[in-house]
Amino acid sequence: MAMTVSLLPCSTRAIIAATERPFHKRNTFEIPRFSGAGRFARSITSVRCRAEAEGGEGADVAKQFEQILQNEASKNLVESLAEKVMQDEESKALLQDLAAATERVEKAKLEMERTNRLEQEILYVENQMARIIAEQNLADSLVAEVEKDVQDAEQELRAAELALVTARAGGVTENQKVDSETSYDKDLDRLESGKAAAVSAIAGTLSSLPFLLVSGDEFGIGPLLSTGGVIASCALYGVTYRYIIRRDLDNIHLKSGAAVAFALVRGIAQVDAVSMQVGFPAQGAEKVLMASLNASESLFIFIFATLAMDFCMTRSIFSPYPVRRP
């Protein structure tokens, strides 16, 4: 079926070609170029009215043709506006400012993204540092606890060693109250002091016998008095030594100091007695020299007595001071 479309004022050739095509190709049109918006609007209105009057498939074709013409007209209108804008100096400046602003915005976005990444990295590093510091503090606290445990163990070990030595000596520890009536037995303590005096006197007398034999003196009043002096001195030394040492059985300086002190006192007393009898230095130089040798003899005697008393205390023959009540 042929369809006649009046299009005024436009090219008649294009419309005739469109209507003479087969029906299945009638939706394809060659878009004519119009010279003005008014002519374009009038042409569209004429085509639409004509097609609606005929009805049917012509109306659909007319609508498609109208849509194509509108798109083409919009494109032409945009192109003409763009040409006018590009020819305007002020519009060019605005476009340049817009482009520069767009570029700055993009740079700002990139910088913001970079700043956000840096902040995240800094936050991650801070979290790691906080974790490391917390672990270090925990390790320090554990080390402090271990050191405290070691110190406590050392103190307990020293206390146990002291208690063992004291137990072997048959005494009491320093933490116990030895001055109270409930723990201190005076009678038993006097007995232990007597034992110490006896041990010291016997050991000192035995150690002095070689010196008596070497001196060559005949057995008489002189050697007996000398032996009696040794016995008395050693007995007094035994009692005093027990009170000096007390529970400090491992103190070598205290033991040797006690022996040297008694030896010096006895030796100086002998030298002084001889010098007063014979005069010094004009007379009796030989006897004064012998008295000096006797001072070294006293040192040997008291050292031997000290060793004997230490042996007896470690073997619990007698107890060091003080003695606890049984």
When mean pLDDT is compared across 192-206, 219-233, 235-249, 271-285, the lowest value belongs to 271-285
29: pLDDT confidence band, cut at 50, 70 and 90?
very low
Buried b (16+ CB within 10 A) or exposed e, 84-117: eeeeeeeeeeeeeeeeeeeeeeeeeeeeeeeeee
Q: Residue 46 pLDDT > 80, yes or no? A: no
Residues 161 and 166: their CA atoms lie apart, in Å, by 9
- 210 found inside a domain: yes
What residues have CB less than 8 Å from 73, skipping those under 6 apart?
34, 37, 40
pLDDT at residue 226 in the model: 74
Mean pLDDT score, 290-294: 66
Say if residue 276 is in the same domain as residue 198: yes
| CA-wise closest residue to 254 among 263, 262, 244 | 244
Say if residue 191 is in the same domain as residue 309: yes
Say if residue 78 is in the same domain as residue 128: no
Say if residue 134 is in the same domain as residue 20: no
| CA-wise closest residue to 231 among 263, 260, 261, 208 | 208
Q: Residue 95 pLDDT > 50, yes or no? A: yes
Q: Residue 316 pLDDT > 90, yes or no? A: no
**Domain-ending residue, one of 62, 87, 112:** 87
Query: Phi/psi zone of residue 28: left (φ > 0), alpha (ψ -120 to 50 degrees), beta?
Result: beta
Say if residue 138 is in the same domain as residue 215: no
**Domain-ending residue, one of 87, 111, 134:** 87
C-beta of residue 289 within 8 angstroms of C-beta of residue 138: no
Containing structural domain, residue 114: 89-169
pLDDT at residue 34 in the model: 43
- 326 found inside a domain: no
Say if residue 22 is in the same domain as residue 53: yes
Say if residue 33 is in the same domain as residue 100: no
Q: What is the pLDDT of residues 259-282, one digit of tens each?
A: 888 888 877 776 666 566 555 554
Say if residue 228 is in the same domain as residue 284: yes
Residues 225 and 236: their CA atoms lie apart, in Å, by 16
Say if residue 56 is in the same domain as residue 98: no
- 321 found inside a domain: no
Say if residue 250 is in the same domain as residue 281: yes
pLDDT at residue 191 in the model: 86
Is 27 or 280 the better-scoring residue by pLDDT? 280
State if pTM tops 0.75: no
177: pLDDT confidence band, cut at 50, 70 and 90?
very low
- 139 found inside a domain: yes
What are 282's two structure tokens? 């004009």
pLDDT at residue 85 in the model: 61
DSSP output for 251-300? -HHHHHHHHHHHHHHHHHHHHHHHHHHH-SSSS-HHHHHHHHHHHHHHHH
Residues in the chain: 326
pLDDT at residue 184 in the model: 63
pLDDT at residue 119 in the model: 92
pLDDT at residue 10 in the model: 42
C-beta of residue 274 within 8 angstroms of C-beta of residue 256: no
- 212 found inside a domain: yes
How much of the chain, in percent, has pLDDT values that exceed 90?
Answer: 8
Average pLDDT, the chain: 71
Q: Report the domain count for the chain.
A: 3
Mean pLDDT score, 36-42: 48
Q: What is the pLDDT of residues 98-138, one digit of tens each?
A: 888 888 899 999 999 999 999 999 999 999 999 999 999 99
Vertex 94 angle, CA 91 and 96, to 5°: 110
- 175 found inside a domain: no
**Domain-ending residue, one of 43, 72, 87:** 87
Signed CA dihedral, 186, 187, 191, 197: sign only: positive
Instruction: Looking at mean pLDDT, say which of 120-129, 207-216, 222-231 comes out highest.
Output: 120-129
- 282 found inside a domain: yes
For residue 302, the number of C-alpha atoms closer than 13 Å in the C-beta half-sphere is: 27
DSSP three-state, residue 8:
coil
Q: Residue 218 pLDDT > 70, yes or no? A: no
Say if residue 190 is in the same domain as residue 221: yes
- 63 found inside a domain: yes
Signed CA dihedral, 7, 10, 16, 19: sign only: negative
Is 260 or 69 the better-scoring residue by pLDDT? 260
pLDDT at residue 186 in the model: 77
